[in-house]
Structure 1
């Protein structure tokens, strides 16, 4: 009898303890860890390459040169400036700063250097009248004397997350190879300066893009259009009569200032470094 009472008491105590334990407050589960999605920003330095097509944008498509005696007798040379077009390609480097990540104003600066394929029509002319044997005429002005150009421009735009729409403008320069322009004449001042304006659109690919060879914070693709106006100075920049035997000018026709205008449509690839 006593043994049964002891067992009953022990069972009651166990049940009471279990019930009390069930009534104790449970430990709250830890809150889930929230990882914010990074907001893209265009801020940072970048470099890249570009390629496109350049073409004449001037309104003056022809020029003429009266060949002096004894190299001509009532002879006139006409130089066409139409069909001055060709490949353009080069590289750029720059820096952007975005005021607010995500959507916001972006401003920056960019410099580029470009090759121009205008030289194939360098000596194209039509001559009316007799021209002395052993001589030819050429006009080093215009786009045909340009071998390269470059710009240093500001950029201002607005970003819609990974899409940037911008305008650009600033300093431009260009030059030709003297020995290709007209016989290496030391008086050639083929270097010219001016301005460039334009605009474009740029899109940032994901960081894990297969194009991200340099492990940059972003790879961006852009399409851009530029209008370039280069103004020559006044030193011996007119048409020339060249002695074919030694490829040296024997006469020239100085003219006043002339603007060389062309447009460039190009696509580019940039690698951005800095903030994501």
Structure 2
């Protein structure tokens, strides 16, 4: 009986050793490497607010007067970029302090503020945005005639232009912008006499904006 017990124990040991040896010969299992989540590309969608400054030069029909000067102010708007598309649409408004004037022969024309509300349509190259813009322009207009006094109007016209914008970070962008504005003709009164004067301008602006998360 002891002999049978010894033989049984030996058989169990032999089977255990054989199983361990077979397991050692199997290839080791390695988990599949984790796939990194794709990094989302930059999106222009969201509201923004910025500051800007630039230079304006224009023309009138008043004796060769061509108003020119500096402009500084702020702008705010909202962009929407379509999913999986480079197309960006938006709306923007700005308001600026202006130091624009010119005079000739006792007549002076000047503008002390201006602004516009424009629709924008752009094409994005990742962090770069090329855009066109157009809409309503408005400005303060003053005309002074020596010896006859002065008169002022709030002129309303149209504007069109475009620019290039670069998103330096997810929240900060810089841009260069050109626009042309035509304010039409307004009637001015000087000591009972009346006259009509038109005004148009070209403007180049540079700005920096903060885009809020969306």
Query: Shorter chain as normaliser: what TM range?
Result: 0.7 to 0.9
Aligned residues of 1:191 and 1:232 also touching (Cα < 8 A) = no
2:178 aligns with 225
Matched, 1:159 2:124: yes
Counterpart pick for 1:115 among 97, 101, 104: 97
1:265 aligns with 204
Shift of 1:189: 3.9
> TM-score by structure 1 length?
0.65
Aligned residues of 2:54 and 2:205 also touching (Cα < 8 A) = yes
Aligned residues of 2:117 and 2:135 also touching (Cα < 8 A) = yes
Counterpart pick for 2:65 among 81, 86, 89: 81
Aligned residues of 2:142 and 2:152 also touching (Cα < 8 A) = no
Where do 1:166-185 residues align within 5 Å? 166-176=131-141
**SS of residue matched to 1:41:** coil
Cα RMSD for the two superposed structures: 3.2
Shift of 1:113: 0.3
Matched, 1:41 2:24: no
Shift of 1:15: 2.6
* Distance in 1 separating the partners of 2:153 and 2:34: 68
Q: Which consecutive aligned stretches of 4+ in structure 1 deviate over 4 angstroms post-superposition?
A: 4-11, 23-28
Matched, 1:104 2:83: no
Residue deviations 1:66-118, cap 9 Å, x none?
xxxxxxxxxxxxxx413x221111100001111134x5211110000011112
* Distance in 2 separating the partners of 1:125 and 1:91: 31
Structure 1 gap ranges (5+): 64-79, 127-136, 208-217, 241-250
Residue deviations 1:123-155, cap 9 Å, x none?
x333xxxxxxxxxx545xxxx321010100100
**SS of residue matched to 1:17:** helix
> TM-score by structure 2 length?
0.82
Aligned residues of 1:54 and 1:87 also touching (Cα < 8 A) = yes
Cα separation, partners in 2 of 1:153 and 1:186, compared to 1, 3 Å: farther
* Distance in 2 separating the partners of 1:43 and 1:261: 33
Shift of 1:7: 9.7
* Distance in 1 separating the partners of 2:18 and 2:149: 111
Residue deviations 1:182-213, cap 9 Å, x none?
79x99834211111110111111133xxxxxx
2:20 aligns with 18
Of Structure 1 and Structure 2, which has the larger fraction of its residues in strand?
2
Structure 2 gap ranges (5+): none
